[in-house]
Chains A and B, each alone.
Chain A
Amino acid sequence: DVKVTQSSRYLVKRTGEKVFLECVQDMDHENMFWYRQDPGLGLRLIYFSYDVKMKEKGDIPEGYSVSREKKERFSLILESASTNQTSMYLCASSFGTSGMKDTQYFGPGTRLTVL
């Protein structure tokens, strides 16, 4: 079974704080993704990575950065948290070798509140 874990289920931070969201997968997947989910908007891609130290911007990268120093770990960083970054954050991973059949497997999500 694919296992994707996220460091926290719930997180409360203050405006201006630096926030780290960690994601770890145990299936040797090449690709990893960070999404945010907001009611009525579905999932929107923030960043993804197809290899160690490689990253690509998604649809809404502003205010976020990422780090992938090891294959199994993909971190999302909010440099200076703002209230409009209050959201559910979902991490996913995939093999990366199946082209458009590549199934993404998700972690349980982190619900971040920025006060």
Chain B
Amino acid sequence: AQKITQTQPGMFVQEKEAVTLDCTYDTSDPSYGLFWYKQPSSGEMIFLIYQGSYDQQNATEGRYSLNFQKARKSANLVISASQLGDSAMYFCAMSEITGANNLFFGTGTRLTVIP
């Protein structure tokens, strides 16, 4: 079974608007971590944000926030005030307490910001 599911292969958003990228996960571990990475066309994966399964508050980093709904096993990334430079692939990933620091990645969502 897929540990991370990203159901949106592609998304479009108007510049300055907010956009939500979906991510659901599957684990039986009581402790786990959720990550989002951005991959521009240059290829390098850039770490954006982290959420721990026991964190009480949703994680935020500048214009990025993580909408964590534990009961629904979802960890959606919200980008506010989209910029042209946000156009990229976005990957959701998960680490498990039993996983020896491995990350399980989803298939990614390609975000295009329209001027």
Contacts and interface: CB of A to CB of B under 8 A. Distances in A.
Interface of A: 9, 31, 33, 35, 40-45, 48, 50, 56, 58, 88, 90, 92, 94, 96, 99-109, 111
A45 B99 CA distance: 12
Given A88-B43, A92-B45, A94-B101, A100 B91 contact: no
Interface string B78-115: 00000000000001010111011111011110000000
Interface residues of B, number: 28
A71 to B, nearest CB: 16
Given A42-B108, A43-B91, A102 B44 contact: no
B33 A45 contact: no
Contacts of B33: 100-101
A106 B97 contact: no
A100 B52 contact: yes
Contact of A108 (B42, B50, B107): B42
B101 A58 contact: no
A105 B48 CA distance: 11
Contacts of B99: 100
B1 to A, nearest CB: 14
Contacts of B37: 106
Contact of B31 (A48, A56, A100, A105): A100
A103 B47 contact: yes
Given A106-B46, A109-B43, 8 more contacts: A41-B107, A48-B101, A48-B102, A100-B52, A100-B96, A102-B101, A104-B103, A107-B44
Interface string B13-53: 00000000000000000011101010000111111001010
Contacts of B102: 33, 45, 48, 58
A36 B107 CA distance: 12
A25 B108 CA distance: 25
25 contacts: A41-B107, A42-B4, A42-B91, A42-B106, A43-B45, A43-B91, A43-B105, A44-B105, A45-B102, A48-B100, A48-B102, A50-B101, A90-B43, A92-B45, A100-B32, A100-B95, A101-B33, A101-B95, A102-B95, A103-B35, A104-B103, A106-B46, A107-B44, A109-B44, A111-B43
